[in-house]
Chains A and B, each alone.
Chain A
C-alpha cells in the first residue's frame, strides 16, 4: 500500500536521513524509532505529504502522493505531535469537526461512544482537561477511523497512562487485524510486534 523510495530529509542544512526506502502492506505495522531530533516527526510528515522530501518519493498504491493530494487524504489518518484539539471547544465538538473535515459521516452517538471508550465525557471544554486527557480526546478519532486504511501516528503513547496505552494498543492491533497499515513513532518500545522497524540515527 505505502511505499517510500530513497527518501532524504534536510532540516536546517542538516541531513536527517538519506536513502530511506521501505514498503508497507495491509496488515503491517511500521515502528519509527530513534532519539530526539533524529527526524521521526519529519519522516511522518513526509509520509502524509505535509513535508516535501529533499529527494525520493512516497507512493500510495503505486502513485506518487503529490499527485493524489485529497485522494490520498481520504485514505489516511495522521495524528501529529500536537493533539490538534481546540481549547475552546468540547472534546465532542472537536471530534465531530475533525471527522467531518476528514470526510467521515459520524452520528453524535458514535462520537460520544468513541470518547467514552477513552474515558471522556465529551461535554467539558478541552482547556479544562489534562495533557493525557487531551491526547485521549485526539486518539478517540482512531476509534471512528476503522475504515481508513492507513494510520500515521506521531508519538501516540506520550502522556498516556497505562490504561490509555493498553486502549491504544488494542485499537492499533485491531486495525492491523482487519488489514489496515499503521506507522507510528516512539522512542520507547511499547511491546507490540512491529512488522518493520525503521531506526533513525542522529547524524
Chain B
C-alpha cells in the first residue's frame, strides 16, 4: 500500500521535474499577484503592513487554485488515471499521494518564498516565522480540499471556472485562520490558537479528503 503511495509521489515529482514550466507558472503567479498590491497602493508602509497577511494568503489561495485543475485532468486524458483506479491499493491512498505530490510542488515553494513577499510589505521580521508556519499548515489543506473539487469537476466543460466557484468558498476558514494568525502576532498576541485550528483543519482534511477524492474520481470517470 505504501509502495503504491511512494510510486505515485515519485511519479508526480518526476513529471513536475520534466515539466518545470508548469510549476514555475503557479509560483510566478503568486509572486506577481502579491507584488501588484504594493505597486498599486504606493509607499504607505502602515497600510501595507496592515493588509500584508490577507493579501499574501489570498494570493496563495489563487495560486493553489491555478494548478489544481491539472491535478487529475492530464492523467484522465492519457488513461493513466484509469490504471490508478484499477490499482491494487485503495484509491484513497493513491489520491492522498497525488495530493501530497501536488503540495510538494505547488504549496511548499510558497512557504519558502513568503518571506520575500513579506519584505515588499515591510512586515517586521518577527512575523516571518508565524507567516511561514501558517502557510506550512494551511497550504496542504488547500491542496486536499481543492483536490476534491478537481476530482468532481473532472472532464466537465468549463470545469476550471466551476472548480473555482466550488472550492474558493471552502477555502474561507483556512484564509481566516491563516491571515488571522499573522494579524494576532503583529498585534503582539500569541497566534497559537489560530495555528492550532489550522493544524486541526489539516488533520481532518488529511484524514477524510482522500476518501472523498476517491469517491469523486469514481463518479466522474464513469
Contacts and interface: CB of A to CB of B under 8 A. Distances in A.
A103 B86 contact: no
Interface residues of A, number: 28
Contacts of B77: 82
Interface stretch (B14-22, B30-38, B107-115, B203-211): B14-22
Interface stretch (B3-11, B65-73, B121-129, B173-181): B3-11
Contact of A84 (B3, B79, B89, B90): B79
A52 B89 CA distance: 20
Interface of A, secondary structure class, is loop
B80 to A, nearest CB: 5
Nearest to B77: A82
B25 interface: no
B85 A50 contact: yes
Contact of A103 (B14, B79, B87): B87
A78 B18 contact: no
A33 interface: no
A82 B3 CA distance: 25
Contacts of B86: 48-50, 73, 76, 78, 102
Nearest to B85: A50
Contact of A83 (B18, B78, B90): B78
A100 interface: yes
B82 A80 contact: yes
Given A70-B87, A70-B89, A78-B83, 18 more contacts: A49-B86, A50-B221, A52-B222, A70-B90, A80-B79, A82-B78, A84-B79, A85-B78, A86-B15, A89-B18, A100-B3, A101-B8, A101-B87, A101-B88, A101-B89, A102-B86, A103-B87, A125-B18
25 contacts: A49-B86, A50-B222, A70-B87, A70-B90, A73-B87, A74-B88, A78-B82, A78-B86, A82-B82, A83-B78, A84-B83, A88-B19, A89-B11, A89-B15, A98-B83, A100-B7, A101-B8, A101-B84, A101-B89, A102-B83, A102-B87, A102-B88, A103-B4, A103-B87, A125-B18
